Each structure stands twice: as C-alpha cells, then as structure tokens.
Amino acid sequence: MKNKILMLLCVFVTLSFAEVENPLKKAMDIIKDSKTAYSLKFLEKPIPVPDRSKMINIQVYREKTADGYVLKSFEPKGEAKKLFDKAESYFGSHQYAKARDAYTLALQQDPKLYNAITYIAQTYGMEKKWDKAELWYKKAIDANYIDFLAHWLLADVYKIKGQKEKALQEISIAKVLNRNNPRLEAVRKQIFDDNGLSMKNWTFNPQVKMSRDSATGNVNIVADSIWSYYAFVQAAWKYEPEYKKMAGSWEKKYRECLMGLLPFMDSHKGSVEVLSRLDKVLDADKLGDFIFYEIILLDNPNIALLLEQKQIEALKDYLIWANRK
C-alpha cells in the first residue's frame, strides 16, 4: 500500500494519540501493512442523506424465547379473520360502535390479535371520546409494548388533552420503535415543538464512500478530510479479516470508527454539527445511546422491536435529551 495521503494519516494518528491509548493505531497499522492496496481521495461535494422513508416497521407482536424475542405477524384465521375483516369494514364506513363490537369478538377468538385493541382505542378517538381512547391505548401497550401505533396515537390523545409531557414521552417511544416513519416524524416535530425541544431531524451521515475493485482487489476510498480516519477504521472492519475478528458488537465497531473524529473535535466542533453533537454526547457519557439511536437504528429499525422495555425507554430518554435546546 503506497498512498501518500494514507501514509501521512498513519503518522498523524500516532501523534494525535501519543500520550493516551490509541484506539485507531491498530486499524491504521493493519491497513498500512495489508496486502490489499488502499487509496484515499478527498470528497469534492457532500454526500446527501439517503432516503430511508420506506425502511419502516409494521405492527407486529413478539414472543419471548430462550434467546430473546421472536417477532410475529398479525394473521387472524378462520372466524377471527371473518370478524376482523367485518370490523375493518365497519371502521371504514365510520360505524365505530359496530367496529368495536366486531374487534372485541375477533379478539375473543384470537387473544393474540393485539392490534385489535389498538383499533378499539382508535374508534373511541374517532368519536372524540378521549378518556376511553387513552384507556384502550394503554391496554394495547400493556398487551404489546412494541406497538408503535398505540404509543403514537396515545401521544396524539395526550396532545389534544393538553398533557404535553405525556405526549412527549409517548411520541418518543413511538419514534424509537419506528425510526424512519415520515408520518410519525411529522407528529414528533409538532410535539417536540410544543415542549420547547428542537424540531430538527438531524441524521448521522458519514461523508465516506468506498468500493473494492473486482479485478485488482484494491479498495478505493473517497471521504471528507474530517471523516478520513473514520473511513479507514470502517475499511478495516469491512475488508481486513484480522481486524474483523476483533469485532464483537456493532456498538464496538462504531465506537472505534467514531474515535476517528476525535482529532478534529477541538478545531471543528463549532462548525461541524456531528462533532458538536459527539462532544456533547461524550461529556454526558451517552455514546452507547448515540450509536444505537443515531446510527444502528437508521438502517436496522426492526432491531428496536427486539429490545427490552427498559432499553427502549433509555433510547427514548436519549432522544428527548439530545433535542433539548
């Protein structure tokens, strides 16, 4: 590997962490000594935020197993399906009392049809019976905590009732459970604004592209200068078996990648938002939450549905904290 820019980076990363543990040196040494040739060019124009509007979760429920949870689809069968379909028809024609009755009967036939509880709550909401709607959304959440729609619509009920803090809590849980849903995001902005929080939908967006030449096996990296170390740690994870073997969790991977931003923190955090956010996160010891919510859930939103309730609530707390002005 004989890339002048990369050689300079290897020297600089050693100097940058000369007096402390060097989290980047291992990756940079592996890259430098690799049989694979790596090249780096600096990015000429910013990489736009990818469109993730179709990477959304649907209503499901989960069952506990020895290894965690398994997600299950709502698939009513037989008499339960007939009753559920009838309820949907009544709902569509605004016959909410009849819809409730049919949803209730469907639920009796199939007690795991937890989404029917949410829809019963919704019928009360359509009738502006907010107290009953609140009661039934809470029942839906008790039965199936990962039902993002129940949290979302309960937040809307609280908003209508003027209970801003409760609305904030519920919409934030819904956002964790369905990270990329654009309609949910619109409601999130309104409720955050009501609570004096930032409406901005900031997105972690590394200014890095990399590809491997199929003929030569060489790895070509294009990155903004601030993201250059991040890019090489990511490349080591992606293309170097020795480094990948050290891996472990995604969180560890991204912790090490993010260390590549530290040399630029003091000089650029005032003008580069990812650095100012990372600085705030490190000061508050919330790096794990940052990685999970801002990075992992973006491209893997369904992982939230497998988390324990206390983990979901911790990410909810992070989201609220991160958007305080």
With bands split at pLDDT 50, 70 and 90, how would you rate the model's confidence at 29? confident
Report whether pLDDT(9) > 70: no
Superfamily of domain 61-194 in the CATH hierarchy: Tetratricopeptide repeat domain (1.25.40.10)
**What pLDDT score was predicted for residue 163?**
99
- Sign of the CA dihedral running 238, 242, 248, 252: negative
**What pLDDT score was predicted for residue 246?**
74
Tokens encoding 204:
């972690």
Report whether pLDDT(200) > 50: yes
- CB–CB of 192/168 below 8 Å? yes
Listed in sequence order, the residues at least 6 apart from 80 whose beta carbon sits closer than 8 Å to its beta carbon are: 106, 109, 110, 113
Count CA within 13 A, CB hemisphere, residue 294.
Answer: 24
What does pLDDT average to over the chain? Answer: 92
Report whether pLDDT(107) > 90: yes
**What pLDDT score was predicted for residue 153?**
99
- CB–CB of 12/263 below 8 Å? yes
Strand partners, 324: 197
d(CA 131, CA 108): 23
Three-class DSSP category at 53: coil
Report whether pLDDT(24) > 90: no
Instruction: Give residue-wise pLDDT tens across range 237-286.
Output: 999 988 887 766 788 889 889 988 988 988 999 999 999 999 999 999 99
Q: Tokens 């931003």 sit at which residue?
A: 261
Instruction: Give residue-wise pLDDT tens across range 201-235.
Output: 999 999 999 999 999 999 999 999 999 989 988 99
CA nearest to 192, candidates 92, 300, 319:
319
**What pLDDT score was predicted for residue 218?**
95
- CB–CB of 109/77 below 8 Å? no
Listed in sequence order, the residues at least 6 apart from 154 whose beta carbon sits closer than 8 Å to its beta carbon are: 121, 134, 137, 138, 141, 170
Instruction: Give residue-wise pLDDT tens across range 157-187.
Output: 999 999 999 999 999 999 999 999 999 999 9
Instruction: Give residue-wise pLDDT tens across range 53-69.
Output: 999 999 999 999 999 99
Report whether pLDDT(22) > 80: no
Query: What is the pTM (predicted TM-score) of this model?
Result: 0.91
Tokens encoding 132:
């009953």
Report whether pLDDT(14) > 50: no
**What pLDDT score was predicted for residue 5?**
41
Tokens encoding 45:
């124009």
* Residue-level length of the chain: 325
Strand partners, 62: 71
**Angle CA 142–172–270, to nearest 5:** 160
In the chain, residues under CATH classification 1.25.40.10 are 61-194
